[in-house]
Amino acid sequence: MNKGLWISFEGIDGAGKSTHIEGLASAFKSQGRTVTLTREPGGTPLAESLRAMLLNESMDPLSESLIAFAARRDHLNQVILPSLAQGDTVLCDRFTDATFAYQGGGRGVPWETLKTLELMVQGSGDSGQSSQIREPDLTIWFDLDPAVAASRLADARAPDRFESQPLEFFTRVQAGYARRRDENPSRFLTIDASQTKHQVWQQLTRGLVSKGWLSIVTPSTC
């Protein structure tokens, strides 16, 4: 079993997760935990190369999925599992739910195909065929109306291949996240990301305090 704690952060582009991940990393560190802050696709040199391909090169949806899972395999083996084994708190900006949401919901890759890849890549047996899937202890989902997210993104830097998709795409991605949450509600903490930064921070820290993972509600860093 993992000694550490593994939390992933999810949401459509523009949902506002990035600033809060940094804040939570500081909060965990200030309470004496060693934090590994990482992201997907990415987190290793190989996975960062694959990230650049996924975000910039045109390809079909199954290829997107295969690249996301290839990057994940390297990241899991090189960073996440070793960090958990030494007791770290691993904060991961996106994980497998993003592939179900973006490639499954957004692009239409069949859910069952993604489930097969998930088992191959995250299964705990040597051949990846064991039924135990390695996944975060908690997934914090920044739940936001895609139209609101789009308006927040409007002023952002040059969009990548996903950020430049139309509203309908993000509506399907959002539905993909909701499906994942509904399939595994106990793993998810759903955050109402339409609220102010301060209120979102309060929701996050309250959720983590109620699990016993933060000892006090630390002041907002926002």
Considering the complex, state which of residue 40 and residue 143 has its C-beta at the smaller distance from ligand TYD: 40
Q: Rounded to the nearest whole angstrom, what is the least distance from the CB of residue 184 to ligand TYD in the complex?
A: 17
Return the residues of window 144-163 that contact ligand TYD according to CB under 6 A. 162-163
Return the residues of window 28-47 that contact ligand TYD according to CB under 6 A. 40-41
* Secondary structure of 108-159 as H, E, C letters: CCCHHHHHHHHHHHHECCCCCCCCCECCCCEEEEEECCHHHHHHHHCCCCCC
Does the footprint of ligand TYD cover residue 80 (CB under 6 A)? no
- Taking the CA atoms of residue 177, residue 146, residue 161 and residue 68 in that order, the dihedral angle to the nearest 10 degrees is -10
Does the footprint of ligand TYD cover residue 143 (CB under 6 A)? no
What's the one-letter identity of residue 52? A
Q: Rounded to the nearest whole angstrom, what is the least distance from the CB of residue 31 to ligand TYD in the complex?
A: 26
Does the footprint of ligand TYD cover residue 98 (CB under 6 A)? yes
Does the footprint of ligand TYD cover residue 93 (CB under 6 A)? yes
Q: Rounded to the nearest whole angstrom, what is the least distance from the CB of residue 186 to ligand TYD in the complex?
A: 22
**Position of tokens 């903490």?**
189
What DSSP character marks residue 91?
E
**Contact between residue 37 and residue 20 where contact means Cβ atoms under 8 Å apart:** no
Q: Rounded to the nearest whole angstrom, what is the least distance from the CB of residue 212 to ligand TYD in the complex?
A: 28
Binding window for ligand TYD (CB under 6 A); candidates: 20-28, 94-102, 113-121, 205-213: 94-102
Cβ neighbour number for residue 178 with a 10 Å cutoff: 16
Cis geometry, peptide bond prior to residue 41 (ω within 30 degrees of 0): yes
Q: Which residues bind ligand TYD (CB under 6 A)?
A: 13, 18, 40-41, 55, 68, 93-94, 98-99, 102-103, 162-163
